[in-house]
């Protein structure tokens, strides 16, 4: 199994600079654009935040489009596609570089 270095570093309390490929978050984050991820939990985030999270076994840096006390956060890309609900929030984008 491949190690998830972003996850490991965020869980260790580290702030990291990351980037991902893909156009699902344009124009908020462009493909390959670096951004700062700070450690965060479900309690730290709100609708409109961009977070690093795990939904249905996959990791995403996507938007929170809804928040619910029972389900957690609804995660979507910036094109309107909903990935699903999760309580597994590991980091929050604090700055796009």
Please provide the DSSP assignment of 15-71 as one string.
-EEE----STTTTTS-TT--EEEEE--GGG--TT-EEEEEETTEEEEEEEEEEETTT
- Asked whether residue 1 carries a pLDDT value surpassing 70, the answer given is no
For 35-64, what is the mean pLDDT?
Answer: 97
Question: For position 23, which CATH number holds?
Answer: 2.10.109.10
Per the structure, the complete domain to which residue 54 belongs is given by 5-96
3-state class (DSSP) for residue 79: coil
As for how many domains the chain has, the answer is 1
For 28-35, what is the mean pLDDT?
Answer: 97
Q: What is the model's pTM? A: 0.94
Query: Over the stretch 10-29, which tens digit does the pLDDT of each residue have?
Result: 999 999 999 999 999 999 99
For 68-80, what is the mean pLDDT?
Answer: 96
């Amino acid at each position: 199994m491949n190690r998830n270095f972003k996850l490991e570093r965020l869980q260790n309390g580290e702030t990291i600079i990351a980037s991902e490929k893909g156009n699902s978050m344009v124009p908020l984050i462009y493909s390959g654009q670096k951004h700062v991820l700070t450690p965060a939990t479900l309690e730290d985030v709100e609708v409109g935040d961009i977070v690093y999270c795990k939904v249905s076994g996959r990791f995403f840096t996507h938007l929170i489009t809804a928040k619910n006390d029972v389900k957690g956060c609804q995660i979507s890309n910036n094109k309107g596609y909903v990935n699903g609900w999760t309580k597994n929030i590991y980091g929050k984008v604090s700055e796009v570089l």
